[in-house]
Amino acid sequence: MNCNYCHQTINRNLTLKEIFLPQKILSEQLCSRCMKTFQLLEKKDSCQGCQRQSTQTAYCKDCLRWQQIYPNYNFQHEALFSYNQAMQEWFELYKFKGDYRLRHSFVPYLQSYFKQKKSFLAIPMPISKERMEVRGFNQVEGLLDAAGIPYEPHLIRFAHGLSQVQKTRKERLSLKQPFKLTQEGQKAVLNRDIILVDDIYTTGRTLFHGAQVILANHPAKLYTFSLAR
């Protein structure tokens, strides 16, 4: 099998599961050389709100601001990887150049994380109809599909605008509410443990907009998650 990213041959011994269930072989995983370029995040010495690294206080400045805006929301965000140069380049290929095969790259890590969240209803962050027409897929749903993680797309993006990458920090933070829940979603989140899933956490503005809509419909718990931070 070949590396999902660099396409070099991966040599390793198969597990018993892969021998007897060959259809389960992850033929599109990352090789060890590529994997070393991605940096896993540590919870130690990180912000308790958003997992920003190397903060000197319990909460970073951004999260202190979010606490003022959403005083009744005990938010908790978790991410797996740092948005370093390697991750930026990976997202450029996957998200912006449309290499959909790359959705398999981090399957073992996603499966390991969501195994601990089995009681939670996963809701992916949506993209607009206009973005879907251009890209052809929702990058968050692609990651979840590849990892076999069940989810329910109850959140809808009704407002279209520039990609977050094209916005300045000030523009991102001043973004108006672009999301709403479906009628089915309003019932589905009531008294449920919810995990709102995105691809990248930057300022947190997009996820907090999504969280605001869900909180209005009274979930039991609401956590947020992203592949990268």
Does 95 have pLDDT greater than 60?
A: yes
**Which has more pLDDT, 53 or 211?**
211
pLDDT tens digits for range 124-175:
999 999 999 999 999 999 999 999 999 999 999 988 655 555 556 666 666 7
Buried b (16+ CB within 10 A) or exposed e, 97-122: eeeeebbbbbbebbeebbeebeebbb
| Antiparallel, parallel or unpaired: β 193-200 and 179-181 | unpaired
**Cα–Cα distance for residue pair 43/51, rounded to 1 Å:** 7
Domains defined for the chain, CATH in brackets: 39-82+106-228 (3.40.50)
Q: What is the pLDDT, as a whole number, of residue 127?
A: 95
Task: For the chain, give the longest Cα–Cα distance.
Answer: 54
How many angstroms separate the Cα of 95 from the Cα of each of 64, 71, 90, 156? 30, 33, 8, 19
Q: Among the listed ranges 11-20, 71-80, 112-121, 206-215, which one has the minimum average pLDDT value?
A: 11-20
Distance from C-alpha of 129 to C-alpha of 114, rounded to nearest angstrom: 28
Beta bridge partners of 180: 156
DSSP string computed for 126-164: P--HHHHHHHSS-HHHHHHHHTT------EEE------G
Q: 9 has which bridge partners?
A: 2
